[in-house]
């Protein structure tokens, strides 16, 4: 008996490996500061927990639609309009079991053997693993601390070939904390416009944890709405990592393809978690400010300490 070639080709995600090692050391009584996972340590907002309590007592215990409840998708579309200036119909929204599933849905729907996916570095390690899982080839575009960990647009342009199907990046960036400006995103959009078969996957799950400048959705730039899949979720902004809710806003043909895949992977996302999603999408974004300010304070504390280390150079996470 043996495992499949597909499974044996998959490595444990580096972030999860580090988190597991951290838990092991803590169990031994070691004093460990675990920075492996992008997981807020604050409690979720009270309104999210109240929504969960009400949902548990309600009629939300049956199989949900594969792409999400209609009212939840409507609320996500309204959130995209309010926060990001994006116009989506509910049919362009797909709710998934975490943004990680949202990403694998998109990558497997649009890339396969013989295809290439351009990934500016540094990047979330899941991107490259999922690209390989789809049978495609990741193409990395490096950057340096002197460049604020932002790969220059001309370097990205040079990495695009006739085999390139996707450009995948996050802004705000995990792990560097850099945020692409509107001007930098427009330069990237100008490159994308020259490649009519290229789709952009914009991971924006850290959008509400921006200290300096502004978050700009790539799909809001002229001509990019039909070329972009915007990925988001509840984990970061609402400190709901364990509820596993992600979602996309995409051209309808991509949303339908992701729904077909998801129907064979997991079907619909947990019903109770979707009712919590509805409450989060309808909440005033100003309610998220206290957590962001706490993270800002911590950033200043850590940067001040790092500045005292001889020979240490780092960018200023935004």
Is residue 170 helix, strand or coil?
strand
d(CA 209, CA 305): 21
| 0.85 exceeded by pTM | yes
Which domains, ranges and CATH numbers included, belong to the chain?
46-285 (3.40.640.10)
Q: What pLDDT sits at residue 7?
A: 85
d(CA 301, CA 299): 5
Q: What pLDDT sits at residue 33?
A: 83
Instruction: Kindly list the distances between the CA atom of residue 59 and the CA atoms of 53, 65, 121, 122, 275, in Å, as whole numbers in the listed order.
Output: 12, 14, 45, 44, 11
Q: What pLDDT sits at residue 23?
A: 87
pLDDT along the chain (318 residues), means of 10: 86 79 87 83 94 97 98 99 98 98 99 98 95 97 94 98 98 95 98 98 97 95 98 96 98 99 97 98 94 94 92 87
Q: What pLDDT sits at residue 271?
A: 98
245 burial type by CB count under 10 A (0-12 exposed, 13-18 middle, 19+ buried): buried
d(CA 73, CA 90): 5
């Amino acid at each position: 008996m043996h495992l499949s070639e597909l499974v044996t080709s998959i490595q444990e995600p580096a972030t999860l490996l580090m988190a597991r090692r951290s838990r092991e050391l803590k169990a031994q009584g070691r004093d460990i500061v675990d920075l492996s996972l992008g997981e807020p340590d604050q409690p979720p907002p009270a309104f999210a927990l109240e929504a969960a309590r009400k949902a548990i007592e309600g009629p939300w215990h049956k199989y949900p639609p594969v792409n999400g409840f209609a009212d939840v998708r409507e609320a996500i579309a309204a959130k995209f309009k309010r926060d990001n200036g994006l116009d989506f119909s509910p049919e362009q929204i797909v709710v998934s079991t975490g943004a990680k599933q949202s990403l694998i849905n998109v990558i497997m729907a649009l890339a396969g053997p013989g295809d290439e996916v351009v990934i500016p570095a540094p990047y979330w390690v899941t991107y490259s693993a999922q690209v390989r899982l789809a049978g495609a080839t990741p193409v990395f575009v490096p950057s340096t601390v002197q460049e604020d960990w932002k790969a220059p647009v001309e370097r990205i342009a040079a990495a695009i070939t006739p085999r390139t199907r996707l450009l995948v990046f996050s802004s705000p960036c995990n792990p560097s904390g850099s945020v692409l400006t509107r001007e930098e995103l427009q330069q990237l959009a100008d490159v994308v416009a020259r490649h009519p078969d290229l789709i952009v996957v914009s991971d924006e799950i850290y959008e509400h944890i921006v200290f300096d400048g502004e978050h700009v959705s790539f799909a809001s730039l002229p001509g990019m709405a039909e070329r972009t899949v915007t990925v988001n979720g509840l984990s970061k902004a609402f400190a709901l990592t364990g509820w596993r809710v992600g979602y996309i806003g995409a051209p309808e043909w991509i949303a339908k393809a992701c729904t077909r895949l998801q129907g064979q992977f997991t079907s619909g996302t947990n019903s109770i978690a979707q009712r919590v999603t509805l409450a989060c999408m309808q909440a005033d974004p100003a309610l998220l400010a206290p957590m962001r300010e706490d993270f800002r304070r911590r950033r200043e504390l850590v940067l001040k300490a790092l500045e005292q280390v001889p020979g240490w150079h780092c960018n200023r996470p935004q």
